[in-house]
């Protein structure tokens, strides 16, 4: 057992050096690798995202837990290990904020959600992270209380999260309301409509950021205020793969109906819906998911590397 090893967060040398210098670092989450995308494309994406961050002039800090070691900055063997989670079998788990201590204490391997990732990023001095979509209020969440810990983590963690909006299978109006209650701003990057992950825009209004400088000014204003919350920077998904709202709505309704018919609920619901959407769209939703994660990582890297 690992009882003799002290607990703590292991920050990779390259990340540590960068943080003590120019601090151009982008944090990346790993639940989307371990549980969000099929193997081996998830591994290819994890590598491609790190390369995209480097190309844009920043240092990637992919965050996850490997055999109980909480790491900020994974090496390639760690990525290989975490990507195996998508093969199933349960030897790679999903860790949100609640779970971090448990996986560390048990020596488990885990992909970290947005909530757990921003906690570890901010604690290490990283102020920007990138992902595909954040969690939020699930349909019916007002009764079931199935509301992602991402929302509460955003409320108390000063880290900007670049994403394509909340995961499309969520209740978006209630997710925006819950973020407002928690003092978390959601801004649109180049848009005044909330992006909806698979669709470029939803009817929901958000303040627009017209470029990197506007985004950086917003982060600086927030930092100056001392308000402890993160900011969500919602970047519309790439137009060539994004779905039309009506077509997506019909696909989602069919997926929800199938889930209801098969009695799928709880933590199994999201993977079921994602698989259903992938099949119904001929794989397009998976390609779109990959493309938007890459685009978000590039934008986060430009933000991290921006110096007025």
As annotated, the active-site residues are 29, 167
Q: Measured from the CB of residue 115, what is the shortest distance to ligand PSU in angstroms?
A: 6
CA distance 228 to 230: 7
Q: How far is CA 178 from CA 152, 155, 173, in A?
A: 9, 10, 9
Q: Does 29 bind Mn ion (CB under 5 A)?
A: no
Q: Does 36 bind ligand PSU (CB under 6 A)?
A: yes
167 binds, among Mn ion, ligand PSU, none (CB under 5 to 8 A by kind): ligand PSU
Q: Measured from the CB of residue 133, what is the shortest distance to ligand PSU in angstroms?
A: 4
CA distance 22 to 1: 39
Question: Binders of ligand PSU among 203-242, rule CB under 6 A?
Answer: none
29 is written with which tokens? 């989450």
Question: Binders of ligand PSU among 79-98, rule CB under 6 A?
Answer: 96
Q: Which range of residues in 7-15, 16-24, 82-90, 148-156 is near ligand PSU by CB under 6 A?
A: 148-156
Residue number of the CB atom closest to ligand PSU: 36
Q: Which of 9, 48, 149, 212 binds ligand PSU (CB under 6 A)?
A: 149
Question: Binders of ligand PSU among 118-147, rule CB under 6 A?
Answer: 132-135
Question: In terms of CB distance, is 134 or 291 closer to ligand PSU?
Answer: 134
Q: Does 285 bind ligand PSU (CB under 6 A)?
A: no
CA distance 285 to 297: 18
Q: How far is CA 209 from CA 104, 160, 214, 257, in A?
A: 39, 13, 6, 37
Q: Measured from the CB of residue 34, what is the shortest distance to ligand PSU in angstroms?
A: 8
Contact by Cβ (8 Å): 236, 200:
yes
Q: Does 148 bind ligand PSU (CB under 6 A)?
A: yes
Question: In terms of CB distance, is 36 or 188 closer to ligand PSU?
Answer: 36
Q: Does 146 bind Mn ion (CB under 5 A)?
A: yes
- Does the bond joining 40 to the residue before it have cis omega, within 30 degrees of 0? yes
The C-alpha torsion from 70 through 75 and 81 to 83, rounded to 10°, is 100
The C-alpha torsion from 290 through 294 and 295 to 297, rounded to 10°, is 140
Q: How far is CA 287 from CA 19, 32, 36, 271, 281, in A?
A: 33, 14, 12, 16, 10
Would you tell me which residues interact with ligand PSU (CB under 6 A)?
Answer: 29, 31-32, 35-36, 96, 113-114, 132-135, 148-150, 167, 289
């Amino acid at each position: 057992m690992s009882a003799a090893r002290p607990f703590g967060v292991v920050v990779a040398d390259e990340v540590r050096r960068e943080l003590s210098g120019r601090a151009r670092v982008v944090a990346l989450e790993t639940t989307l690798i371990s549980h969000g995308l099929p193997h081996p494309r998830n591994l290819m994406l994890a590598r491609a995202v790190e390369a995209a961050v480097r190309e844009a002039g920043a240092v990637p800090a992919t965050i996850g837990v490997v055999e109980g070691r909480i790491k900020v900055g994974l090496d390639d063997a760690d990525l290989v290990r975490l990507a195996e989670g998508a093969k199933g079998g349960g030897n790679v788990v999903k860790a949100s904020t609640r779970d971090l201590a448990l996986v560390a204490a048990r020596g488990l391997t885990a992909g970290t959600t947005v909530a757990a990732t921003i906690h570890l990023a901010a604690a290490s001095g990283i102020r920007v992270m990138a992902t595909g979509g954040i969690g939020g209020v699930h349909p019916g969440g007002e009764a079931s209380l199935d509301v992602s810990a991402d929302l509460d983590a955003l409320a108390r963690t000063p880290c900007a999260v670049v994403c394509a909006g909340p995961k499309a299978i969520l209740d978006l109006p209630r997710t925006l309301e819950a973020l407002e209650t928690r003092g978390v701003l959601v801004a649109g990057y180049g848009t005044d409509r909330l992006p909806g992950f698979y669709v470029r825009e939803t009817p929901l209004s958000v303040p627009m950021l017209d470029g990197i400088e506007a985004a950086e000014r917003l982060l600086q204003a927030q930092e100056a205020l001392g308000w402890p919350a993160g900011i969500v920077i919602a970047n519309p998904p790439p137009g060539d793969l994004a779905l039309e709202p009506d077509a997506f709505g019909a696909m989602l309704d069919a997926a929800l109906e199938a889930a209801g018919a098969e009695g799928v609920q709880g933590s199994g619901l999201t993977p079921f819906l994602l698989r259903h959407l992938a099949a119904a769209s001929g794989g397009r939703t998976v390609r779109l998911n990959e493309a938007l994660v890459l685009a978000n990582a590039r934008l986060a890297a430009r933000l991290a590397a921006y110096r007025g």
